[in-house]
Amino acid sequence: MKLQRLKEIICVKPEPPETTPLLSKIILEANAVRTVQEYLFTPSLRAHFQMVFECAVHRRGQGFWVQAEYGAGKTHFLGTLVNLLIWRDEALWKAVRDDDLRKTYAHPLSKVRMFPVAFSLRGMGAADGADSLMRILEEQIRESLRTIRPDLDEKIPITSEELADHWYRTESTDWEKAGARSFFEKENKASPEEYRKANGVKAFGRELVRSGLPQGKLKGKFKERFSWIYEQITKLGEYDGLLFVVDEFRSWQDRHVQGTAAYAEDEEVLETLAYVLPTNHHNILTVIASQGDMPQKLSGGGEGDRFIPLYLLADKNKSDFGEIVAFRCRDLLPGADVGIKDYYNHCRKEYRFIRQANISQTDFKATFPFQPRCFEVMRRITQNAEKHNLPTARSAIRMGWQALSDPAFQNGARLVAIPDLFKTDELEKMPRSEGYKDAFQNLHDTFELLPPLDVSPEERDQARRLLQALFLWAVSLPDNLRDGLTSQEVAEAAWLADDAVGATAQTEYLFEKMIQNGFPVRDEKKSREGKTVSIFSYELSAAQANPVKYFGPLKKKAKEDAKAQNDKWLESLFWQLPDITQEAQMILGMNGGLLSDFQPPDQRTAKQRQDNAPPLYALPHRVASSSSRVHKVQYGGEIAVSDRWREEFGKEIENPDQHFRLVYLIQAPEVSDEQIGSQLKDARIAVCRPAPLSDETREGLADILAAEQMKRNFTALNQGVIRDYAESRRKEAVKTILKCQLDEFKRGKVLTQKGYGIPAIEVFGNLKDREDALGARLLEKAYDNPLFAPKHLKKIFTDNDARKVFAGLFHKDPANAEKDAVTNFAAGLGLVSKSHPSEFNAEECLAIARIREYVGPEPDVPVADVKTTFCRAPHALTDQMVMLYLFGMVKMGGCELSIKPNHGLMLNNGKALSGDRLKSRVLGLMDWNAKLDKALLGARLVKSSQKGWNDILPYARVLDETMKPVALPEEEDARNEELARLLKTLAEHIAATRNTLPTLAQLLGGKVTSQILELLQRLDAVAAASDFNEFGATVRESYASPEAFKESFSRFANLIKACEALPQLQHIKAYLQGMADLEDNDLAVRQMTLSGQLTFDGLIQNPSEHCLGVQGCCVGFAPKPLRNRLRFPEP
């Protein structure tokens, strides 16, 4: 496929891109269109703009912290942002190279008016060191008023002096003016007006401030001052809000050290602008650009935080780098898409970088015509200005522009590759850097080896390009990283082509030639994607003298420094996997130092780390992370590491979570083994101490000290051979020291209270699960009488299994895993019987029997004391086992767990647990989880103070004589629900009766007596009970016996019947009144007789008979025609 020449696809920018813009210049209205037109909105940058625009459109104040390395485009970002927020020129938004941004925000932002205060802090610091960010902001606000709204300049006072002048002219009273006159005449021999006219407003205001007269009127707090300024500008200028944009904040940060008053003022000022005022409905957008990190106080990350960070060219946005460089260097000609597609297909077919990096055609177009590895090098060599003498991304843009500007290159048909960067003036700055003079001299000397190389002239040029690509790749890498490229990768990075054998084969051929002829090219075999391949790298060092002569004196000095050896011994015990060699790992089976799993915190300062001071470990160091398995139970333990013996290590283990303690002494102790043994107060403690360091160990320590010092001494790029020798000696020393660590502890001793005689050679001959095995040996001897049956435990019992057993035994419908836990462990724990292995039965449980003996018949014991007593020898219970047994005791009845009052526990039925007791009937409705564990902190096992269901059954049967007793505690919940329904019905009847009785009494000429009201009140209290326990307690308070309750409830039943007869009685009363209205003497007598019989008191005594008797008399006294006339119902 024939590719188009580059000049037919791209147009290089006509002049070098301006890469160091001034913010004050690019935000001028005259420059706004060009500034925006030259800005590339990558996806990550578009997201930043969207975030700010959303706040502006919705008039929502917010702070943004724009952070990027020097030269990454912060100022251009700020300028584009300001221009789009403040100017209203239609051409401005037409210049935006992002359709989505333009369509979404052009119209909404046209309705927003923000007053801008944009400036750079570079050079703003005061010469006398009296910096004030508040003062700078006041000056810049004034400058913006003068530039943008001169009509408001004299109307808005800003500084303290201006506010004082404003106060004197517009707000001061006659008395205050008199005081000012007295002050000025005394201090300045002039009236206030004369002084103001002669010295100006600023001096006049300063004198007023000094006088103290306007104190309290000057809005001295940052919040008050900014709020005043905001109100004045937005009100008088008809703005929607303020826009503060500050560039080069790093230069200001460097002057104000954390902890100083100036640093504190900076934080407070920025916090006021970005957070305090916006939360008080002030629409202020604050954008700060800095190379430095955001102060901790201002950090956030989300909307509503003090500052939202916006990172430019960060690692996650690293693809932006190439897009921005390409965008700033060239434009694409019309129809370029066709040519770029041809290049893309060609590269995809002939090279691997497209497929390896999964580069899409869109991404390829965005960085065209640069080979992607080019950006990797450019990015790295321009990231550190001090090291490479290149001003970061700005240099990359100029470098790319210079490479594209070569006419010969534009007439070609290939991508820009790494060797092309050598043709740029920008890269020529790099050899002038002190750190790279020797390296570039090395490359220059290497080029002199090319002419005699036995290859063709064309191949000699190819070799030069390969060397350039490999060299620039090497120097761009960090000092601590040594990595190379495969032959295919180098061929593509150098854009090598060979129609005969292929670029990769040609590269391998040329490298082989160069290595044979002494070129500084290294060929190492490494594994890539599971295959062993050759990795080529440029050796930046020159020929060296014999490195052995440097190593000898350093080792001699190290052998004489016992303290340094001891420090290195301590450090080596905690080496992690990256600190050792792969060879040592494979040979010794170690993933670090002998005690690498227990590395203490390193307390070195940053400077000490930089100076390679030995680690300053915080000792002693305790780790509660190991576990051992004994009696088919997993026990937790404690590991302690110390540089000396301490008596505290021998104290009895009191934490129920810890069943053993292993103490590692990192060096032979000064006290004797006998003295240590006498101070051990618990048989579950073992002390492992090494033997005094042997000559072999100290020889290895001296080797590593000398090797590391040698690497530090020879850091120049041309001294790589010496460093390689030092590294090889270090690797050997690492292997030796790791072996010696095992040997020293094997020669040491394992000390125990009872002299178990555990051989150290056995303990440290086991690299896998060493602590678990040693802990198990201790517990096997200490836990010789467990309160459970290990042989009946079918699996290893863990703390989590205790929770599953709890659920399996006590929940109504346990999960399968919980049922399995009961099957595996409940029998061994003594919580079920052999005949019913899935049902709770702890009558023969040994552990519960022992705990009952301990707590006594009237228990009131802290749970923590129970755990302390039984989580030790010889009982062998874990704290979760003890808790499970305590739950079992509660379930059996007679005991309860008293917990925190405000526990917030919920039952599985959705109801809250009432009271502060865990009782038998609620265990089946509880989950044993973290919330329950928290509620159990400080819990006590106490005697149950409440009755069971069968105790209150006689009272319950007053309400419903069909209520049944329970045979098992589990049945109480069902009875409780039945009782709850009865109590609810009772409450409804009480309410209805209370409402009807007054009407009934009035109808019959009676009175609701205090006895009746008391009856209703007592029953109301009974009906309000939440469960049967509360019901029993409440009913007993009012009624001494079930019979008394029954008699009272019978009277209440009469009241219900009487109230239910109210309609019938109302009809009878109407009938009797009809009889009286007939003016029949005989009927009148009968009516009076019947009315006298119909009484309230008689009704509530026997409502049924009373109503029927009166109704029958009414029927008998009146003839049927009269009853029909009065519409009295027939009996």
Higher pLDDT, 130 or 395: 395
pLDDT band at residue 989 using 50, 70 and 90 as cut-offs: very high
193 part of a folded domain: no
Q: Identify which of 786-790, 915-919, 1117-1121 has the greatest average pLDDT.
A: 786-790
- Asked if 935 and 900 count as a contact pair (C-beta separation under 8 A), the reply is yes
Q: Are residues 985 and 996 in the same domain?
A: yes
User: Residue 652 pLDDT > 60, yes or no?
Assistant: yes
Q: For 284-306, give one letter per residue: b (16+ CB within 10 A) or e.
A: bbbbbbbbeebbeebebeeeeeb
Give me the percent of the chain exceeding a pLDDT of 90: 37
Q: Are residues 498 and 554 in the same domain?
A: no
Phi/psi of residue 902, nearest 5 degrees:
-95, 60
pLDDT of residue 626: 61
pLDDT of residue 519: 75
Q: Are residues 453 and 516 in the same domain?
A: yes
> How far is Cα of residue 253 from the mean position of the Cα atoms in its chain?
28
pLDDT of residue 807: 95
- Asked if 819 and 801 count as a contact pair (C-beta separation under 8 A), the reply is no
Helices of type H across 936-1061: 949-959, 972-1003, 1010-1023, 1028-1038, 1042-1060
1094 part of a folded domain: yes
Comparing CA positions, the residue from 284, 321, 325, 328 lying closest to residue 306 is 284
pLDDT in tens, 214-266: 877 777 788 888 898 999 999 999 999 999 999 888 888 888 888 888 888 88
pLDDT band at residue 388 using 50, 70 and 90 as cut-offs: very low
Helices of type H across 893-968: 930-935, 949-959
Query: What are the tokens at 473?
Result: 């790749």
Single out the residue in 945, 970, 1001 at which a domain terminates. 945
Terminal Cα distance for the chain, rounded? 117
455 part of a folded domain: yes
pLDDT of residue 987: 92
What contacts 24+ positions apart, CB below 8 Å, involve 335-338?
Answer: 336/9, 336/10, 337/365
Q: Are residues 554 and 700 in the same domain?
A: yes
- For 412, residues 6+ apart whose C-beta sits below 8 A from its C-beta are 5, 6
**CA pair distance 122, 131, nearest whole angstrom:** 13
25 part of a folded domain: no
Q: Are residues 721 and 804 in the same domain?
A: no
**CA pair distance 388, 392, nearest whole angstrom:** 9
258 part of a folded domain: no
Cis omega before residue 431 (within 30°)? no
Single out the residue in 1021, 1044, 1060 at which a domain terminates. 1060
Cβ atoms within 10 Å, residue 825: 28
* Domain total of the chain: 5
Q: β-strands 62-67, 685-689: how paired?
A: unpaired
User: Residue 1108 pLDDT > 60, yes or no?
Assistant: no
The neighbouring-strand residues paired with 635 are: 628
pLDDT of residue 901: 85
> Model's pTM, two decimal places?
0.45
**CA pair distance 57, 106, nearest whole angstrom:** 10
Cβ atoms within 10 Å, residue 1042: 18
Single out the residue in 1009, 1039, 1060 at which a domain terminates. 1060
Maximum alpha-carbon separation in the chain: 157
120 part of a folded domain: no
439 part of a folded domain: yes
CATH code where residue 464 lies: 1.10.10
- For 507, residues 6+ apart whose C-beta sits below 8 A from its C-beta are 466, 487, 488, 490, 491, 494, 496
User: Residue 1125 pLDDT > 50, yes or no?
Assistant: no
174 part of a folded domain: no
Q: Are residues 555 and 701 in the same domain?
A: yes
Residue type, 50: Q
**CA pair distance 941, 949, nearest whole angstrom:** 22
Cis omega before residue 192 (within 30°)? no
Helix (H) / strand (E) element for 167: namely helix 160-170
Query: What value does the mean pLDDT take over residues 1069-1086?
Result: 66
User: Residue 702 pLDDT > 80, yes or no?
Assistant: yes
Q: Are residues 845 and 859 in the same domain?
A: yes
Calculate ∠ Cα 360-366-370, nearest 5°.
Answer: 95
For residue 976, with 0-12 CB atoms within 10 Å meaning exposed, 13-18 middle and 19 or more buried, which class applies?
middle
Mean pLDDT score of the chain? 85
- For 452, residues 6+ apart whose C-beta sits below 8 A from its C-beta are none
pLDDT in tens, 622-640: 987 667 789 999 999 999 9
pLDDT of residue 542: 45
**CA pair distance 22, 26, nearest whole angstrom:** 6
User: Residue 448 pLDDT > 80, yes or no?
Assistant: no
Cβ atoms within 10 Å, residue 469: 31
**CA pair distance 1096, 1065, nearest whole angstrom:** 11
Q: Are residues 668 and 740 in the same domain?
A: yes
pLDDT of residue 390: 41
Distances (CA, A) of 827 to 584, 809, 920: 48, 12, 21
pLDDT band at residue 498 using 50, 70 and 90 as cut-offs: confident
pLDDT of residue 1000: 84
Q: Which residue segment(s) compose the domain that 1074 sits in?
A: 1062-1126
Q: Identify which of 40-44, 485-489, 545-549 has the greatest average pLDDT.
A: 485-489
pLDDT of residue 129: 58
**CA pair distance 686, 677, nearest whole angstrom:** 9
Q: Are residues 877 and 914 in the same domain?
A: yes
pLDDT of residue 849: 94
**CA pair distance 815, 811, nearest whole angstrom:** 9
Question: Which SS3 state, helix, strand or coil, does residue 278 take?
Answer: helix
Q: Identify which of 425-439, 473-487, 653-667 has the greatest average pLDDT.
A: 653-667
Query: What value does the mean pLDDT take over residues 978-992?
Result: 92
pLDDT of residue 130: 65
**CA pair distance 40, 77, nearest whole angstrom:** 10
pLDDT of residue 548: 57
Tell me, letter by letter, the H, E, C secondary structure of 65-86.
Answer: EEECCCCCCHHHHHHHHHHHHH
User: Residue 1118 pLDDT > 60, yes or no?
Assistant: no
Place of tokens 């800003």: 158
Q: Are residues 502 and 557 in the same domain?
A: no
Q: Identify which of 268-277, 297-306, 474-483 has the greatest average pLDDT.
A: 268-277
Distances (CA, A) of 418 to 372, 968, 1093: 10, 85, 121
Q: Are residues 847 and 937 in the same domain?
A: yes
Q: Are residues 695 and 769 in the same domain?
A: yes
